Structure 1
Amino acid sequence: MSDVKLAAQTRTEFGKGAARRIRRESRVPAVVYGHGTDPVHISLPGHELLLALRTPNVLLTLDIEGKTELAIPKAVQRDAIKGSLDHVDLLLVKRGEKVTVEVPVQTEGELAPGAFILEHVLNTLSVEAEATHIPEAVSVSIEGLEAGASIHAKDIKLPKGTTLAIDEDAVVLQVLAAQAEEPAAEGEAEGDAAAEA
């Protein structure tokens, strides 16, 4: 998994006005919490943070006033229109510590020939992994699957050291037969038109 180093600045001003000023400086307000410590309010460089968050569950090495902390993103708030970062909640972690995270589910291969639809019941899989070895994603083969087939959480091969944090019988993917819309009979369409006239 990725490990990104970011220089953090502690902040003492709070509220919307202070947050706007921070964003005008191309920084993002954030809060770091965990391990029973008091939350620490910081700001982070906006562009670098935006690039880092493209990787799910990225491990961040924060330099907070000369002290190095490891953290993972827990909640990310974005501007609904611009897509820019508004605020980030970060969870402190330690090397060797296990954390529960949501990991994206990726598919490989093609369904069997025919009119089939692949439904993602779960787009992410809840897993427990060491904080410094969180998988970026899990892959599932859908090669040759037909309507009625389903893949459960227990069917997905997880990287070493990673375990499921949800019910192993939870359905992750299922294959459905495509439903063709039946065209309206010509007689019915003509009758409707006559009724409207």
Structure 2
Amino acid sequence: MAEVKISAESRTEFGKGSARRDRRAGKVPGVIYGHGQDPRHVKLPGHDLLLAVRTPNVLINLTVDGKSELVIPKAIQRDPIKGFLEHVDLLIVKRGEKVAVEIPVHAEGELAPGGNLLEHVLNALPVEAEATHIPEGVTVSVEGLEAGASILAKDIELPKGTTLAVEDDAVVLQVVAAQAEEPAEEAEEGAEEAPAAEAETAEAAE
């Protein structure tokens, strides 16, 4: 995984008003924490950060006040309507150490004929990986799977150096049977019979 270099500034003013001013200036408020250090408040260039976090679990070589740290995003807040970044939590990592992250699961292939649906029980797979070699995701084949089939965490081939951080038998993907639809003719007949039945009930009551 390539490192993305970003320079940030220390943040000394806090509160909603300060955060709004930072965002208007194209900055994103953030917090750096981990490895026993006191949390540090920073503001990062919004455009650079937005490009970086397009890669899941991106490794960022962050420079603040002349000091560089390797960090990965652990929590990202976005505006629910416009989608811009509002805040980011950054975890300090060291080369060679393993970190717990979640990686995207991508399905490829066609299910068996029948109109069945593929359900992503886990959209992201919890794993442990070396901080500087976090996989961008895993791809799973669902070719020919029929209704009732499922893929468990242990069935997924992980890159070297990556291990599961979830139970082996956790369901990641499953194939759900398509719901049978009532034939149109039967539905129409049922609609026609309903008024007749109501009329008979009314006559009996009289």
1:43-73: CA deviations, max 9, x gaps? 0000010011111000010011111100000
Aligned twin of 1:68: 68
Aligned twin of 1:137: 137
1:181 aligns with 2:181: yes
Aligned twin of 1:105: 105
Displacement, 1:109? 1.5
| Equivalent residue letter for 1:189 | A
Equivalent positions of 1:52-63 (< 5 A) are: 52-63=52-63
Runs of 4+ in 1 over 6 A off after TM superposition: none
CA distance in 1, matches of 2:15, 2:109: 49
Alignment gaps of 5+ in structure 2 = 199-206
Equivalent positions of 1:3-82 (< 5 A) are: 3-82=3-82
CA distance in 2, matches of 1:87, 1:107: 31
Q: Tell me: CA distance 1:29–1:193, structure 2 relative to 1, closer, same or farther (3 Å).
A: farther
Alpha-carbon contact 1:95-1:131 (below 8 Å) kept: yes
Aligned twin of 2:147: 147
Q: Secondary structure at the match of 1:185?
A: helix
> Rg bigger for which structure?
2
TM-score of the superposed pair, with normalisation by structure 1: 0.95
| Equivalent residue letter for 1:188 | G
CA distance in 1, matches of 2:8, 2:195: 68
Displacement, 1:192? 4.6
Q: Secondary structure at the match of 2:132?
A: helix
| Equivalent residue letter for 2:65 | E
Identify the range of structure 1 (143-152 vs 129-138) with the bigger mean alpha-carbon deviation.
Answer: 143-152
Aligned twin of 2:202: none
1:73-117: CA deviations, max 9, x gaps? 010001111100000000000001100001000012111222211
Alpha-carbon contact 1:2-1:55 (below 8 Å) kept: no
Aligned twin of 2:203: none
CA distance in 1, matches of 2:97, 2:189: 69
1:160-188: CA deviations, max 9, x gaps? 00000000100001112211221463343
RMSD between aligned alpha carbons?
A: 1.5
1:8-50: CA deviations, max 9, x gaps? 1001000001101111110100000000100010000000100
Q: How many residues align?
A: 196
